[in-house]
Amino acid sequence: MEDILGSPGPGTAFYVYYFGMFSIIACINIPGNILIIIAVFKTPNLQKPCNFCIASLAVTDLLIGLVYPVYNISHLQHVPEISRPLGQWNVCRFLLCEVIALDICSSYHLVAITINRYIAIVNPLRYHVYVTTRSTKYVIVFIWVISQGVCVIMFTLYNPEEYILRQEPSCRFELIFSLAHMCVYFIFQLILPLILMIPMYARIANIARTQAKAIAILKRLPWHKDRACCCHINYHELKSTFLVSILLVSYTVAWVPFMTYSFYRIQCVKDCYFSPFIRASCRILLYLNSAINIFIYALRLKEFRKSIKHKLTHFFRMILCREKNGRAH
């Protein structure tokens, strides 16, 4: 969320790369996350506690897909008709607050999904006791409230006087955030979620390896109804856990470069030139992270893939029917 316009100023190639990548990702992010939300709430087989968390994460990613590009457009200082209205303090504070709130919300949805997988693997017999639709809804509401609350506190404590006195206010991260703000954001956004998730995944990985060996042994034994059921359940849980681990890796890869650059940019006073393409790439990675869940769940989980395929087929059939009716009239 730093300045994308450096000195020397970026050229045409930069704008084509930066806004071109954002446009491509937005075309995937927005319709893809809408499909995931519809798939969960319109398909009975997908209406499970863990999938409700996934749907809420998709809502978060969808909102990021809508708000983040608006924030980026506010950096176009060469187009004052855009940068000045978006650079006003109240508008800028709203944009930054929502971008950061949605980022934090996305992170703690991953924490909630990790806890869900942890219980499913470590204590499967008590899973349906601890993880219910009602408790999951409470957790989702709590995550949304906390993420918004953290940002309200951060920006309430900030004095906008210096920002307002600027002759050409521009809604840029480094004009508002101090090193203290960055430390708070870094702890809530990256460090705390990783502290919570990594130990759980270490335990899950150990148990998953043991279960995978047990499944392999059971499959070689003569067929038995109970053994087949056990294998099916364990395989499903292990596959879901593997997919969530991909989310964790992609989350880390997306956020570490951005946080590294942000600390450097805020604490650096002079001789702080960074290639615009490096800065832009850090931001593109963040935006890409909000779209990557679509590929993980739509392409890897059979239930999601089947439901999304059905929704798309139904949608295109409706369009074809309307075209035929229109031509008939």
CATH code of residue 306? 1.20.1070.10
Range in 113-122, 195-204, 216-225, 300-309 with the lowest mean pLDDT: 216-225
| Confidence at 56, pLDDT banded by 50, 70, 90 | very high
The answer as to whether 272 is a domain residue is yes
Mean pLDDT of 48-59: 89
For residue 2, is pLDDT > 50?
Answer: no
Residue 262: what pLDDT?
Answer: 77
Residue with tokens 């949805």: 109
Instruction: Tell me whether residue 210 is in a domain.
Output: yes
Residue 91 lies inside a defined structural domain of this protein = yes
Residue 226's CB is within 10 A of a number of other CB atoms, namely: 8
Question: Residue 187 pLDDT more than 70?
Answer: yes
Percent of the chain with pLDDT over 70: 70
Question: For residue 229, what pLDDT band results from cuts at 50, 70 and 90?
Answer: very low
Sign of the Cα torsion 81, 83, 89, 90 reads positive
d(CA 302, CA 258): 33
Pairwise CA distance, residues 21 & 289, whole Å: 13
Residues in Cβ contact with 37 at an 8 Å cutoff, skipping those fewer than 6 apart: 55, 58, 59, 62
Higher pLDDT, 154 or 187: 187
Total domains in the chain come to: 1
If one counts every other C-beta atom within 10 angstroms of the C-beta of residue 172, the result is 22
DSSP label of 10: P
- What pLDDT score was predicted for residue 141? 95
* Residue 55 clears pLDDT 70, i.e. is over it: yes
Mean pLDDT of the 258-265 span: 79
192 or 79, greater pLDDT: 192
The pLDDT of 224-244, averaged and rounded, is 55
Highest mean pLDDT among 25-39, 66-80, 147-161, 162-176: 25-39
Q: Is the pLDDT of residue 143 over 80?
A: yes
Q: Round the average pLDDT of the chain to a whole number and report it.
A: 76
CA atoms within 13 A on the CB side of 286: 29
Distance separating alpha carbons of residues 166 and 162, to the nearest angstrom: 7
Provide the CB-side half-sphere exposure for 122 (13 A, CA).
15
SS3 track for 20-67: HHHHHHHHHHHHHHHHHHHHHHHCHHHCCHHHHHHHHHHHHHHHHHHH
Domain that holds residue 161: 12-328
Q: Is residue 5 part of a domain?
A: no
Higher pLDDT, 66 or 155: 66
For 130-168, b/e burial (b = at least 16 CB within 10 A) is ebeeeebeebbeebbeebbebbeebbeebeeeebeeeee
Flag the least confident range among 40-44, 146-150, 238-242.
Answer: 238-242
* pLDDT of amino acid 5: 41
Among the ranges given (91-95, 206-210, 257-261, 281-285), the one the predictor scored with the smallest mean pLDDT? 206-210
CB 303 within 8 A of CB 45: yes
Q: How far apart are CA 120 and CA 321, in angstroms?
A: 44
Prior bond of 69 cis (ω within 30°): no
The pLDDT value given to residue 135: 92
Please state the separation of Cα 294 from the chain's center in Å: 10
Task: Give dist(CA 153, CA 156) in Å, integer.
Answer: 5
- Asked whether residue 4 is assigned to any structural domain, the reply reads no
Contact 288, 250 (CB under 8 A): no
Query: Model confidence over 285-327: pLDDT tens digits?
Result: 888 888 887 777 666 667 777 777 777 777 667 767 776 666 6
65 and 30 Cβ atoms separated by less than 8 Å: yes
Using alpha carbons, select from 15, 28, 108 the residue that is nearest to residue 288.
28
Helices (H), 221-300: 225-267, 276-300
**Residue 7 located in a structural domain:** no
Query: Does the residue 68 lie in any domain?
Result: yes
**pLDDT tens across 86-124, in order?**
777 777 778 888 888 898 998 899 899 889 888 888 888
The reply to whether 2 falls in a domain is no
Residue 12 has pLDDT above 70, yes or no: yes
129, pLDDT greater than 80: yes
